[in-house]
Amino acid sequence: MTGTRPEADTTPDASSAADRAQTFLDWTRVNSRALTVGAVVVLVAAAGYWFYLRSQEIQSANAEKALMNAKQSMGAGNLSLAQSDLQKVYSRYGSTTAGVEAAMLIAQIDYDAKKAQDGISLLEKLSGSSAASKMESTIRGLEGDGYMQLGKAVEAAKRYESAADVSTHENERAYQRSKAGRAYQIAGDTAKARKVWTSMLNDPTAQSMAPEARVRLGELTAQVAKR
């Protein structure tokens, strides 16, 4: 009995698979240059992104170090040097969290020097920037402090309310709302002051300031009774 050689599979499925494989090989040979270029582009983009992230990390680290040095000058009582150092941090690293914090400290120094408008103007430049996003509530609250120093209690109250609106922390939100309530009372706007204190008294998330809310509402009631 003689052996027989197996015949090649000529079924339609096998033929179709062979055709597809050959087509892919032909396409790869024709487009090999384009594939190489595409791979290089992907690698360059990945390297560029890594370099960007690394640069950001280095910049943030340098900003933190510079801010720490400025704070040391403040701690030593040398406000003139501290303000100069903080200004350098803000000018060079304004797009970082440390740069934003430096600007906030500059504003507080301006307030202490009775230059409230300078401090407010600087804070308003920060507000809304991506670097300041995590400190937005504090920044708006500081703006309110500046307006209080200028004797503009209504404007201050609006800033405090805005600070409360963007805060993600219950205690901070309640604190800013309480400052708004006090500012409205100082401005003589008893209707808005009462609205703020009443809303806080009825808000379960603002109970940290509920005792003051009761006192303030009592004061407002007494004022009405005297008239």
Q: Report whether pLDDT(44) > 70.
A: no
Least confidently predicted of 6-10, 115-119, 129-133: 6-10
Mean pLDDT value of segment 187-191: 95
* 151, 154, 156, 161 alpha-carbon torsion, rounded to 10°: 170
Q: Determine if the pTM surpasses 0.75.
A: no
Q: How many CA atoms lie within 13 A of 171 on its CB side?
A: 1
Weakest mean pLDDT among 23-32, 102-111, 209-218: 23-32
pLDDT band at 63 (very low <50, low <70, confident <90, very high): confident
Evaluate if residue 130 carries a pLDDT over 90. Answer: no
pLDDT band at 78 (very low <50, low <70, confident <90, very high): confident
For the residues of 95-144, what is the DSSP string, one character each? TSHHHHHHHHHHHHHHHHTT-HHHHHHHHHHHTT-GGGGGGHHHHHHHHH
Question: What is the rounded average pLDDT of the residues 98-102?
Answer: 93
Say what the pLDDT of residue 51 is. 46
